[in-house]
Chains A and B, each alone.
Chain A
Amino acid sequence: DADVTQTPRNRITKTGKRIMLECSQTKGHDRMYWYRQDPGLGLRLIYYSFDVKDINKGEISDGYSVSRQAQAKFSLSLESAIPNQTALYFCATSDHNEKLFFGSGTQLSVL
Chain B
Amino acid sequence: AQTVTQSQPEMSVQEAETVTLSCTYDTSESDYYLFWYKQPPSRQMILVIRQEAYKQQNATENRFSVNFQKAAKSFSLKISDSQLGDAAMYFCAYRRGNFGNEKLTFGTGTRLTIIP
Interface size bracket, B side: 20 to 34
How close is B68's CB to chain A, nearest CB, in angstroms? Answer: 15
Q: Does B33 contact A (CB under 8 A)?
A: yes
Q: CA A45 – CA B6 in complex, angstroms?
A: 18
Q: Judge whether B95 and A44 touch: CB under 8 Å.
A: no
Q: Judge whether A105 and B43 touch: CB under 8 Å.
A: yes
Q: CA A33 – CA B42 in complex, angstroms?
A: 20
Q: CA A43 – CA B111 in complex, angstroms?
A: 14
Q: Does A94 contact B (CB under 8 A)?
A: yes
Interface size bracket, A side: 20 to 34
CB-CB < 8 A to A90: which residues of B? 45
**Beta-carbon contacts under 8 Å, B40-63 to A:** 42-45, 47, 50
Digit string of B88-113 for contact with A (CB within 8 Å is 1, else 0)? 00010001000110111111110000
4 A-B pairs with least C-beta separation: A102-B45, A42-B106, A43-B106, A42-B108
Seen from chain A, the residues whose Cβ lies within 8 Å of a Cβ on chain B are 31, 33, 35, 40-45, 48, 50, 58, 88, 90, 92, 94, 96, 98-100, 102, 104-105, 107
Seen from chain B, the residues whose Cβ lies within 8 Å of a Cβ on chain A are 4, 6, 9, 33, 42-45, 47, 50, 91, 95, 99-100, 102-109
